Structure 1
Amino acid sequence: MKVELHCHTRISDGSCTFEEVLELAEQEHVTCLAITNHDTTSGLSEMILRGTEKGIEVIPGIEISAYDYTRHRRVHILGYMVQPADEGIAELCQPLIERRHEGCRRAVNVLAANGYRITWEQVLEYAAGGTGVYKQHIMHALIDAGYTDSIYGGLYKTLFSRGSNGEAPGIAYMPMEYASAQDAVNTILQAGGVPVLAHPGQYDSYDIVPELVSYGLQGIERLHPLHGPEDEKRVTQLAEEHGLFMSGGSDFHGFYGEKEVRLGSKSPGMDTVAAIKASKRNLHNSGPDLIIR
């Protein structure tokens, strides 16, 4: 039996529907599955019911796109056991969804103006059924137009580069304003959830850990496809130092993933699920004083 605690569907930037994810979960013997779509809890109530019918426990989750404005780094915060359709999450995250969607629209217009044979209407088709357009949808259109054969490859790095060492950003790069890391943690807590730092190795977001702990962070993701042995060692040290439980997941996006992974391939085990549930009981049976406002 496997546990999958980091999974995306077509509702955000995954290529698979929830039904397709459920089929994969059955094939891979995943018995506990957290759905952690970016910046939305859309569809979670229905997913929990469908999972129950299949004998799979679905943990309602989210991954909030946040930022460390002190160190100028992206920080992703996972929230487990959140209340679906929580108003606080919608208030924080809906502007993120709208800004991302608009940024992608502008990116497509720039690409078209530079001779790339794609249209906004085509890109919208790839994002159908979701909350908005992501860069993966743009890249999918570029693949079908014959410009590349992969989502994350040389063309992606060229077009969407943020720029560094004096080099200009890629023509499709559109700056985005994210939620603060503190607001992300607080919003998850207020939604009855358990906040966990996602893949700190990916964005080098280790230095913010003590700060996040002061806000109410409960866990940190150790197992992840982009984490090597040094990342896992550093996560373990931080978890022990700050009393955090360690989580993990494949960060499954289907075809839209940064690398090919199998659902459940980074299973942290049922002990982690127990730690999440214990944290929820401890946090939310202790009154609102634990929530930093």
Structure 2
Amino acid sequence: MQNVASEVDFHLHTTASDGELTPTELVEAAVQAGVTWLAVTDHDTVAAVPEMQALCSRNGITLVAGVEISSRWQSQDIHVVGLGVDIGQPHFKDHLAAQMQRRRLRALAMGERLEKLGIQGVFQAAAAIAPQGIPARPHFAQALVGAGVCKDRKQAFQRYLAVAKPAYVKTDWPELEQVVNWISAAGGVAVLAHPGRYKLTRTKLGRLVEAFCAAGGQCLEVAVATHSPDMVQYLAGLCVKFGLYASQGSDYHGPSMRWVQLGKMPPLPSCCRPVRDIL
């Protein structure tokens, strides 16, 4: 099962979080890729949605307002995508503001760890290129490369930023059930993001999906650019078992990640009910 071009891509990032393309550039890239339905799903922010609404309308693209929210389940960081959320809902805005504060504190702690390792000025450099001055790990990686500490972003993660590495900081994210409730209260569809990417056994992944359903989650990301054929089929089976809808998304962050292309992912298995049916 190879990645194929699709007119639907419900997992995309812009410079409003850790993507490389501005909202305008992302829409231009979507047009070139033949994508006619897209969701912008930046991390813990919907800042790019208003700008993209007009851009997509002019280009004949249906835009789904989305977000990718960080949560915690049994000490594991889990991402939940919200599709079709009301970005102006007051409580939802407050929840995302709290998430950005958690990100701010994490970034400061990462900068402190790098300074203790003798690497000065990385937080300032990362903050200068990050939206709202709140850098995520890709911004730190870019700053480490710019300072000549690492040869590329991959090395920056391998040496400093990946889980269990010296500059990694665990964040006190809200519980999975809370995040699903936030999305539902904002009129959105809660989607378990890239389930095949978590380092979980099949048994524990099944428990995660069960907990997600119990919390009110409605959909799994089945067709993801980095999911193996076996994982796609396994997740499709879980959708059938739990009565969930299925989503598809590249998780595209920009051209430097050459192995992930906008609008390209495995096809959804025929047994799946596409989430587009309820958006």
Structure 2-normalised TM-score? 0.87
CA contact (8 A) 1:4 1:267 kept: no
CA contact (8 A) 1:41 1:85 kept: no
Partner of 2:170: 175
Partner of 2:180: 185
Partner of 1:199: 194
1:87 corresponds to 2:90? yes
Q: Which amino acid aligns with 2:39?
A: A
Partner of 1:143: 145
Note closer, same or farther for the CA distance 1:39–1:226 as it changes in structure 2 (3 Å cut).
Answer: same
CA distance in 2, matches of 1:2, 1:110: 43
Note closer, same or farther for the CA distance 1:278–1:249 as it changes in structure 2 (3 Å cut).
Answer: closer
Note closer, same or farther for the CA distance 1:150–1:260 as it changes in structure 2 (3 Å cut).
Answer: farther
RMSD: 2.3
Name structure 1 gaps, 5 residues minimum.
Answer: 164-169, 281-293
In the TM superposition, 1:1-293 aligns within 5 A as: 2-68=7-73, 71-127=74-130, 129-130=131-132, 132-151=134-153, 153-163=154-164, 170-203=165-198, 204=200, 205-254=205-254, 257=257, 260-266=259-265, 275-280=274-279
SS of 1:41's partner is coil
Structure 1-normalised TM-score? 0.83
SS of 1:192's partner is coil
CA distance in 2, matches of 1:175, 1:215: 24
Cα distance per residue 1:186-245 (max 9 Å; x no partner): 111110111111111111344211122122211101111331122112201100101112
CA distance in 2, matches of 1:14, 1:78: 16
CA distance in 2, matches of 1:55, 1:131: 33
CA distance in 1, matches of 2:51, 2:226: 30
User: Deviation at 1:117?
Assistant: 4.6
User: Deviation at 1:115?
Assistant: 2.5
CA distance in 2, matches of 1:131, 1:206: 38
Q: Which amino acid aligns with 2:215?
A: Y
CA contact (8 A) 1:249 1:267 kept: no
Extract structure 1 runs of 4+ deviating beyond 4 A. none
User: Deviation at 1:125?
Assistant: 1.7
Note closer, same or farther for the CA distance 1:56–1:131 as it changes in structure 2 (3 Å cut).
Answer: farther
Note closer, same or farther for the CA distance 1:131–1:225 as it changes in structure 2 (3 Å cut).
Answer: farther
CA distance in 2, matches of 1:215, 1:18: 32
Aligned residue pairs: how many? 267
CA distance in 1, matches of 2:241, 2:18: 34
Cα distance per residue 1:81-121 (max 9 Å; x no partner): 11123222222232221122222122123313422253433
Partner of 1:285: none
CA distance in 1, matches of 2:190, 2:29: 26
SS of 2:241's partner is helix
CA distance in 1, matches of 2:18, 2:47: 13
Note closer, same or farther for the CA distance 1:267–1:53 as it changes in structure 2 (3 Å cut).
Answer: farther
User: Deviation at 1:150?
Assistant: 2.7
CA contact (8 A) 1:4 1:32 kept: yes
- Using the aligned pairs only, state the percent identity: 29
User: Deviation at 1:65?
Assistant: 0.5
Note closer, same or farther for the CA distance 1:43–1:160 as it changes in structure 2 (3 Å cut).
Answer: closer
